[in-house]
Amino acid sequence: MYLPRFVQPTPLNGEHLHAEVNKELEFRVKAEATHSTINDVIVSGPLNITNHMTTQGEFVIRWTPIRDNLGEYFPICFITEGLSGSSVYQSEMRCVVVEVGRRKVKAKVVCDETKMTVEVEKSSVTGIDEDHLRLNDPSNSACDLQRFSNNTHIIGVIPLNACGTQIEEDDDNLIFKNEITTFDNPNDIITRHHQVEIQFYCQYAKRGNVSLGFSAHRDSITVVEKGFGTFTYQFEFYQTSQFTNMVDSRDYPLDVVVKQMIYMDIEAVSTVNNTELFVESCRAAPYDNPNYHPTYPIIENGCIVDETVQIFSPRHQRHFQFGMEAFKFIGMHDQVYISCSVILCEAGNPNTRCAQGCVNSTSPQPAGHHHHRKREAAMQTAKHHISQGPLRLRRSSESSVTNMNMGLMVGCIVAAVAMLCGVMLYKDKTSGVKYQPLTTFET
């Protein structure tokens, strides 16, 4: 009840980890207790080992071996501490053994305020079919690794809010992560034949001026999918429920007052007839990234969650218009973004997600429905994430919301990049985890 208990993804006691010279080794420690709050980790290991706690309650332990460590074995031991009142409770101690080997993959990451650029030397990943490499989410045409690759390097240019990029934060930094993996077939979601996982991330300091690149209006998103061709998602705010006056892109970020109605319009523009749009979920978050948590739910599984939401009659099947009251969630952050998960389906087909409509998690699934991620040809697209914003709370004498420390500008994806840091991690499924530190870039 009081003693911290280790849970996943904490490595097992005595587990062997593999590291490489001049590559950053990373592993995570997490613990739980019923009546105490986990607040610290104590680590014993080689010089220059570091740790920090994420907002998800995980401790990230990192160490970069040097050339003199080659061929050596290093124990890293750790315990976690829980706090209840003035009493401190400690977990069991666990130790892992790190073996330091030679460098394998040669790569680098360049970070800027809106994207990550990763370059991998093809000669260092021999035996890999470069046409069978992809990012976490390759459905967006902008995430195709073949767009920028050349004869010598595999090159990816990855937006911070797309391609399946994950976001993590601690008290001081925002960390954006993605990875390059192998796959058997472009339409397969699950593969059992990963030969490599090339993981990389960019780290940004939170404190500072808001990046202009993430305070601006979001452009439409163009997607290419087999059976649906090329189509575009457009997400816009409107001034009234008549949806005649679209908010000018130069007016972003949008200032709103609590309980003020905000009106949103989502449209799929496609040359393929007989298709319909389905909005499966919409959420608000302080960062323009669909993988950020926690969020404020607006629509979930096709069901209205926020009680102020109003759905309006669409002009056609590839159109969705809705409105809602501005919420206090905005006041908890400097700015927030509205992000929606959308699907395009064959109209009138009863076997599509569009036809199911609102599906509560406790509701039985319709007969014949199965959770296969692999889709039947030309029946429906993958889920695509679109966003618009940011929205910013305007103080008003009519509003009961007070100013909640908005001096700290954390309302965009990248706050003030005093330093941008890129790291490449390489995992070979047959030999363990390999890590590689990359150059630090200053702006």
16 pLDDT higher than 60: yes
297 pLDDT higher than 60: yes
What pLDDT sits at residue 207? Answer: 53
What pLDDT sits at residue 442? Answer: 39
Question: Is residue 293 in a domain?
Answer: yes
- HEC string for the chain: CCCCEEECCCCCCCCEEEEECCCCEEEEEEEECCCCEEEEEEEECCCCCEEEECCCCCEEEEECCCHHHCCCEEEEEEEEEEEECCEEEECCCEEEEEEEECCCCCEEEEECCCEEEEEEEHHHCCCCCHHHEECCCCCEHHHCCCCCCCCCEEEEEEECCCCCCEEEECCCEEEEEEEEEECCCCCCCCCCCCCEEEEEEEEEECCCCECHHHCCCCCCEEEEECCCEEEEEEEEEECCCCCCCECCHHHCCEEECCCCEEEEEEEEEECCCCEEEEEEEEEEECCCCCCCCCCEEEEECCEECCCCCEEECCCCCCEEEEEEECCHHHHHCCCEEEEEEEEEEECCCCCCHHHHCCCCCCCCCCCCCCCCCCCCCCCECCCEEEEEEEEEECCCCCCCCCCCCCCCCCCCCCECCCEEEEEEEEEECCCEEEEEEEEEEEC
What pLDDT sits at residue 95? Answer: 96
* 136 shares its domain with 63: no
What pLDDT sits at residue 287? Answer: 78
Average pLDDT value for residue range 409-430: 42
Structurally, the chain folds into a number of domains equal to: 3
What pLDDT sits at residue 358? Answer: 93
Q: Name the residue with higher pLDDT: 220 or 321.
A: 321
Q: Name the residue with higher pLDDT: 35 or 273.
A: 35
Grade residue 63 by pLDDT with cuts at 50, 70 and 90.
Answer: very high
- Range of the structural domain that residue 181 is part of: 107-205
The per-residue pLDDT of the chain, averaged, comes to 78
CATH code of the domain containing 121: 2.60.40.3210
Q: Name the residue with higher pLDDT: 438 or 393.
A: 393
Q: What is the pLDDT of residues 304-336, one digit of tens each?
A: 999 999 999 888 888 999 999 988 777 667 778
What pLDDT sits at residue 96? Answer: 96
What pLDDT sits at residue 423? Answer: 57
Percent of the chain residues topping a pLDDT of 70: 77
Question: Is residue 213 in a domain?
Answer: no
* 244 shares its domain with 388: yes
How far, in Å, CA of 422 to CA of 115, rounded? 11
The one-letter amino acid code at 321 reads: Q
107 pLDDT higher than 90: no
* 81 shares its domain with 135: no
Question: Is residue 256 in a domain?
Answer: yes
Dihedral sign of CA atoms 154, 159, 165, 171 in order: positive
Question: Is residue 425 in a domain?
Answer: no
Average pLDDT value for residue range 228-254: 88
The CA-based dihedral angle spanning residues 359, 362, 366, 372, taken in that order and rounded to the nearest 10 degrees: 80
Percent of the chain residues topping a pLDDT of 90: 31
CATH code of the domain containing 350: 2.60.40.4100
Question: Is residue 40 in a domain?
Answer: yes
* 82 shares its domain with 10: yes
* 193 shares its domain with 278: no
* 191 shares its domain with 258: no
Question: Is residue 73 in a domain?
Answer: yes
**Cβ contact 325:375 at 8 Å:** no
How far, in Å, CA of 315 to CA of 302, rounded? 19
What pLDDT sits at residue 361? Answer: 56
* 62 shares its domain with 198: no
* 91 shares its domain with 118: no
Question: Is residue 373 in a domain?
Answer: no
* 231 shares its domain with 352: yes
* 124 shares its domain with 169: yes
CATH code of the domain containing 33: 2.60.40.10
What pLDDT sits at residue 245? Answer: 92
Among 101, 128, 150, give the residue marking a domain's end: 101
Grade residue 378 by pLDDT with cuts at 50, 70 and 90.
Answer: low
Q: What is the pLDDT of residues 354-372, one digit of tens each?
A: 999 998 754 444 444 444 4
Among 69, 84, 101, give the residue marking a domain's end: 101
Grade residue 246 by pLDDT with cuts at 50, 70 and 90.
Answer: very high
Q: Name the residue with higher pLDDT: 441 or 422.
A: 422
The one-letter amino acid code at 246 reads: M
* 258 shares its domain with 346: yes
* 80 shares its domain with 165: no
CB atoms within 10 A of CB 32: 14
Question: Is residue 154 in a domain?
Answer: yes
How far, in Å, CA of 257 to CA of 222, rounded? 32
What pLDDT sits at residue 94? Answer: 96
Q: What is the pLDDT of residues 164-178, one digit of tens each?
A: 888 777 767 778 888
